[in-house]
């Protein structure tokens, strides 16, 4: 696995991220707030402790009524148990 990019949502909370995609897998950990991640016509609710692994080249967007904050990591050479689909893990804070 090679880390290509690491980022965190800007200071404060984000209420919307427009549809976009990445050339590599994206691992997202939600830290604050709750909302919905939209991937390929499917909706995935998120809240603090949710981790989502998104395959490359899949258009996705996020929205939240009250805002959210997350950390995102883009990686290449990543194959979680051979999966090519969206993977979701949920953990209840505190982590």
Listing DSSP states for 71-93 in one string gives EEEEEES--GGG--S-EEEE-PS
Tokens coding 58 = 């899949």
Tokens coding 45 = 């609710």
Q: What is the pLDDT of residue 50?
A: 94
Rounded to two decimals, what is the model's pTM? 0.84
Residue 83 φ/ψ, nearest 5 degrees = -75, 145
Q: What is the pLDDT of residue 19?
A: 95
Low-confidence residues of the chain: pLDDT under 50: none
């Amino acid at each position: 696995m090679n880390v290509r990019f690491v980022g965190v949502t800007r200071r404060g909370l984000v209420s919307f991220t427009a549809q976009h995609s990445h050339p590599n897998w994206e691992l997202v950990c939600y830290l604050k707030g709750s909302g919905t991640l939209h991937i390929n016509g499917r909706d995935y609710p998120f809240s603090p402790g949710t981790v989502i692994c998104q395959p490359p080249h899949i258009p996705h967007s996020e929205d939240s009524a009250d805002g959210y904050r997350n950390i995102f990591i883009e990686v290449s050479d990543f194959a979680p148990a051979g999966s090519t689909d969206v993977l979701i893990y949920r953990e209840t804070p505190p982590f």
